[in-house]
Structure 1
Amino acid sequence: MIKTLGCALALAVTAAGASWSQTLEDSLALTYTSNPTLQAERARVRAVAEGVAQARAGYLPSVSASAGISRSRTESSGGFFNQANTVTPKNYSINASQAIWRGGRITGAIDQAEANFLAAEENLRAVEQSVLLDAATAFLNVQRDTEIAEIRRNNVEVLGAQLQAAEDRFEVGEITRTDVAQAEARQSAARAQFAAALAQLASSRAAYTRIVGQAPGTLAEAPPLPTLPDSLQEAVDIAADYSPVLRGAAFSEEAARAGIQVARGALLPDVSLSGSAGTRRDSSFSGDQSDSYSIGAQVSIPIFTGGLNRSRLRAANHIADQARLQVSAARRQVEENTTNAFNNHIAAQSVIESSSQAVRANEIALDGVQQEAFVGLRTTLDVLNAEQELLDSRLTLVTAERDAYVAGLVLLQSMGLLTAETLALDVEIYDADLRQPEWGNIDLTPWN
């Protein structure tokens, strides 16, 4: 049974590319270039960007051309002659119109489209950071669960040796059958825990494959985190400037305010110029041709629309109020998330320190208990308990190291800095933005 579980661990660790070592930067770079969630959001941003071109088209003239041909035959009889006449007229025309004044609706539509595009870009930054966080978490989960499985495997071997020693001591009458049963029970529980650890490792590997796009190979040690703020206030200030959630809400408010201008423009006159030119030619015997030209100006003044335009203006004002309040809500949410992330990172660091001390203390305690048991001062159960405490402290340390690293990444995300650019990933940075954030003097030391 032990050999079977050991083989399962070896297969889990070496499957899918054990001949190469994969770093966290490699995983994040692959995720950045191939993750379907991120690719889909980029496609959505490109679609939103087309709204800017569509809005700007309102400034340009509209020109259309048309052509037509028909055939008609007329026959008449009576008198001395029968007459027949076939006519094939051809028509050609071109029409053009140019908006002169639309009450500010064109300018408002352009401002609204640009603000919507920038809001979409900020949402893309948020999705990018969320996907990169998921990829990094999956990477660290595989590492953590691999270490846990190895610790569990080693515990099975240690308890197996402990059981063999207990049986040998029982044979010579040094301990009772109860001591042997206790050792056997501990080893059986350890085998079950090892099997559960292998299942968890398989689950983490599957999650990694889903997010990154390929199965994990031999994962290298994660690099040190980028420089993090020294104080909570510094972290909150950075988040206030660079959080995509807050910036996106601000751009959405700009779009809503531009919508007021669009709605107000419907109450004002609409002035436009139009022109057309056309030619008609007959293919009959006479070969008549007629040309026509026209140019004119048109003014349209809304007088009564049943309250429709006024209602749309009121609705636009309400939407702008909603967007303004959503900015305040986003600011509070960002401050809360940043505060929680900062405190969680501090707490995780403390857990690492205490867990490291616990591992060292339990190693010393186990060594002492084993020596005391050898001279009969301790029972088999004492040794088993000491081994269990050491095992628990090692598992706690492995989990704490993973949790501290993830907490640091979450803090970067809450500040808006968990991007391919600030992490200096070896990828071509996707850029569809009209305005990029100015990083200023913030220390964004990448992984080296």
Structure 2
Amino acid sequence: MLRRLSLAVAVASAMTGQAWAAQAPTTAMNDLISVYREAAQNNADIAAARADYQARREVVPQARAGLLPNLSAGAELADTRTKLDSPSYTANRSGTVYQANLSQPLFRADRWFQLQAAEATSEQAALDLSATEQNLILQSAESYFNVLRAQDNLASTKAEEAAFKRQLDQSNERFDVGLSDKTDVLESQAGYDTARANRIIAERQVDDAFQALTTLTNREYPALEGMRHTLPILAPTPNNAKAWVDTASAQNLNLLASNYAVDAAKETLSQRKSGHAPTLDAVASYQKGDNDSLGFTNSGLNSGIPPYSGDVEQSSIGLQLNIPIYSGGLTSSQVREAYQRLDQTEQQRESLRRKVVQDTRNLHRAVNTDVETVKARKQSIVSNQSALEATEIGYQVGTRNIVDVLDAQRQLYSSVRTYNDARYDYILNNLRLKQAAGTLSPADLEALDTYLKPDYNPDKDFLPPDLAKAAEAQMQGNPNY
């Protein structure tokens, strides 16, 4: 009886002859949401973003300070020498002066607009941080599923290597009994060598994927829970591109942040224009010290004021008006610069809006395409399996050659890899669509967690469950397979 379900047999051969139940990983597994939590706590980029936010929000108290009272105090210790030619008089005095000054802005239009710009900048910083935190959700999922993708690719490559090894052994046996020529052996050997090289590369790719996950979370992961093939592959809800675009236009975090950037640029323009406006401050001062240090150095000469030598106190309170007239063209230049910065910010917002719309529409189409692709790729496994079996039959009866068999095997394992790629593309494109719409949250990762398999074994579970069960039954000698 001719061999059937070649893919399942190859997978079983790659399991080194042990029962699958005994092959389940014994290392503690990690799920998607736990990886995300580790990233949120340990990722250096998100820590830097949070520090940047804390720094940027300080522009508000700094700008507000320009509208609040300014109080300063100081002291001065000095030697004073007074000399008059006529009448001849020389005096040396030393003393200390203590002083305090208070200024309260009453009308400062430029500082008021500066405060408004600072508040808009602070809101922008908060949204930038939220966008970075949201992006970390996607990064965690991408790193996680890249590991699963690499593991599934390695498992299929190992199964492919086992199939080519078995084909090589059969070619040698047929050559030994004179049923084939040396060419078949050489072709089989070349196929096996290529499959072995691909397996070595796939092993490195698994290590690289785990390393990327470690870089993201600063933690080593010996194993991860894998995604079940029972994950529903459904169109996005609602399945309407305009609805997703409308949501993205209203909720995309980067787009919202750009709105505040425009607001900040507008307030900065108003601030620059206010450089032409007058300013009014209430000022008060107090001084106490030696009379010479305060300017009382005549000692009563020709003044009618009797000589004195004690400390003097001075205090004043008043209004200080300043009217800018000409500053060398500085204010006008700053206004022109602010106009251009505002135009730049508005154009950047428009560019971002267009990109958000483009990405949202593209990702909506991608998810719908992925839904059909996953179904088609899964069916292609069955079709390529049947094609391989038919090619093997043709080879047995002499109507097909070994090259046809090897090509059919390559097509079969390629269909397995493209099927798994389509599954992971569907998952990640769903998350990217939600990120573009501004609705991505940790709850989306928790929803995916319900379809993870705690006892995931890549060497078995890279196959859809029906083919995996067929392989297991065949290994147990079930004649129905």
Using the TM superposition, give the Cα deviation of residue 365 of structure 1 relative to its aligned residue in structure 2, in angstroms: 3.1
Partner of 1:167: 172
Give the AA of the match of 2:315.
Y
Change (3 A) 1:137 1:91: same
Local SS of the residue matching 1:219: coil
> What is the TM-score when the length of structure 2 is the normalising length?
0.75
1:419-434 matches, within 5 Å, as 419-420=441-442, 423=444
Paired position in structure 2 for 1:388? 410
Query: Would you say the 8 A contact 1:23–1:222 is kept in 2?
Result: no
Per the alignment, in what secondary structure is the counterpart of residue 63 of structure 1?
strand
Equivalent in the alignment of 1:127 = 132
Note the C-alpha offset of 1:266: 1.4
1:239 to 240, 248, 251: 248
Specify whether residues 382 and 307 from structure 1 end up closer, same or farther in structure 2 by C-alpha distance, changes over 3 A only.
Answer: closer
Alpha-carbon displacement from aligned partner over 1:277-320 (angstroms, at most 9, x marks no partner): 222269xxx98332221111111111222333233223323332
Q: Is 1:214 the counterpart of 2:219 in the alignment? A: yes
Amino acid at match of 2:271: V
Moved more, 50-59 or 149-158: 149-158
SS for the counterpart of 2:57 is helix
Measure how far apart 1:237 and its partner are. 0.8
2:345 paired residue number: 323
Alignment of 1:59-98 (within 5 A): 59-69=67-77, 89-98=95-104
Preserved contact between residue 31 and residue 449 of structure 2 (Cα < 8 Å): no
**1:78 matched residue in structure 2:** none
Q: Tell me what 2:382 maps to.
A: 360
Answer whether contact 1:125 1:419 (CA < 8 A) is retained.
no
Contact 1:128 1:419 survives alignment (8 Å): no
- Structure 1 counterpart of 2:259, from 250, 274, 279: 250
State how far apart, in whole Å, the 2-side matches of 1:256 and 1:446 are.
Answer: 41
Q: Any idea what SS the aligned residue of 2:327 has? A: coil
Which of 143, 149, 153 is residue 154 of structure 2 equivalent to?
149
Equivalent pairs: percent with the same residue? 27
State the distance in 2 between where 1:381 and 1:97 align.
Answer: 92
- Give 5+ residue unaligned stretches, structure 2: 1-13, 16-24, 83-90, 292-307, 451-481
Displacement of 1:208? 2.1
Question: Mean alpha-carbon deviation: is it higher for 64-73 or for 47-56?
Answer: 64-73
Aligned to 2:476: none
Pair 1:308–1:68, CA change in 2 (3 A):
closer
Q: CA deviation at 1:217?
A: 2.5
Letter of the 2:385 partner, please give it: E
The residue type paired with residue 51 of structure 1 is: V
| Structure 2 residue aligned with 1:309 | 331
Q: Which has the higher contact order (CA 8 A, sep 6+)?
A: 2
Please, what is the CA RMSD of the aligned residues? 3.0
Q: Distance in 1 between matches of 2:76 and 2:340?
A: 50
The AA in structure 1 aligned to 2:314 is S
2:32–2:445 Cα contact (<8 Å) kept: no
Cα 1:446–1:91 change in 2 (3 A) is farther
Superposition deviation, residue 110 in structure 1: 1.0
How far the C-alpha of 1:377 sits from its partner, in A, is 5.8
Distance 1:171 1:446 in 2: 53
* SS of match in other structure, 1:266: helix
1:35 match: 43
Q: How many residues align?
A: 400
Q: Could you report, residue by residue, the CA deviation over 1:96-141 in whole angstroms, capped at 9, with x for unpaired residues? A: 1100001x22221111001112222222233333343233212211
The correspondence for 1:26, drawn from 6, 26, 34, is 34
| SS of match in other structure, 1:207 | helix
- How many Å apart are 1:27 and its aligned residue? 1.6
CA distance in 1, matches of 2:155, 2:363: 30
Q: Is the 8 A contact 2:32 2:449 kept in 1?
A: no
Match of residue 263 from structure 1: 272
Identify unmatched segments of 5+ residues in structure 1: 1-5, 8-16, 75-84, 426-444
Alpha-carbon distance in 2 for matches of 1:178, 1:321: 71
Range with greater deviation from structure 2 (287-296 or 40-49): 287-296
The code of the aligned residue for 2:282 comes to L
Distance, in Å, in 2 between the alignment partners of 1:382 and 1:162 is 12
**Contact 2:81–2:92 (CA under 8 A) maintained in structure 1:** yes
Write out aligned runs for 1:378-417 (5 A). Answer: 378-417=400-439
* One-letter identity of the residue aligned with 2:100: I
Range moving further from structure 2, 312-321 or 183-192? 312-321
Q: How has the CA–CA distance of structure 1 residues 222 and 99 changed in structure 2, closer, same or farther, with 3 Å as cutoff?
A: farther
Give the drift of 1:205: 2.3
> Equivalences for 1:337-348 in 2 at 5 Å?
337-348=359-370
- Offset of residue 54 of structure 1: 0.6
Aligned to 1:430: none
Query: Aligned partners of 1:322, 1:87: CA distance in 2, in Å?
Result: 62
Match of 2:20 in 1: none
